[in-house]
């Protein structure tokens, strides 16, 4: 049985989000595909999804403030980036 306190790296979370975009709720074997894409078990990705849904509900209910993301501007030279608060 997988741990219910699984640690997710930033990279794994990004892979998880990308996999959710590819394998929507109508995709056969959705959780198996998402698990393969993230290197996690089906149980772990289902739990991570439940946490994501709960976070979204709390944000929409104004129970959790939105993160203060820094805005990144990209000029003509894709290597030149300016961060604005």
Coil/strand/helix, residue 83:
strand
Q: How far apart are CA 10 and CA 37, in angstroms?
A: 14
Average pLDDT over residues 25-47: 97
Q: What dotted CATH number matches 10-61?
A: 1.10.10.60
Q: How far apart are CA 72 and CA 83, in angstroms?
A: 5
Between the CA of residue 75 and those of 33, 51, 78, 80, 82, what are the distances in Å? 37, 36, 6, 6, 8
**Residue ranges per structural domain of the chain:** 10-61
Average pLDDT over residues 52-80: 77
Determine if the pTM surpasses 0.85: no
Could you report the per-residue pLDDT of 5-17, keeping only the tens digit for each? Answer: 689 999 999 999 9
Could you report the per-residue pLDDT of 58-68, keeping only the tens digit for each? Answer: 989 988 877 77
């Amino acid at each position: 049985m997988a741990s219910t306190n699984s640690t997710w790296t930033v990279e794994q979370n990004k892979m998880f989000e990308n996999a959710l975009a590819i394998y929507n709720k109508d995709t056969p074997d959705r959780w198996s595909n998402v698990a393969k894409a993230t290197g996690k078990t089906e149980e772990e990705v289902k739990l991570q999804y439940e946490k994501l849904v709960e976070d979204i509900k709390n944000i929409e209910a104004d129970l959790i403030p939105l993160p203060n993301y820094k805005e990144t501007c990209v000029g003509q030279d894709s290597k030149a980036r300016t961060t604005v608060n």
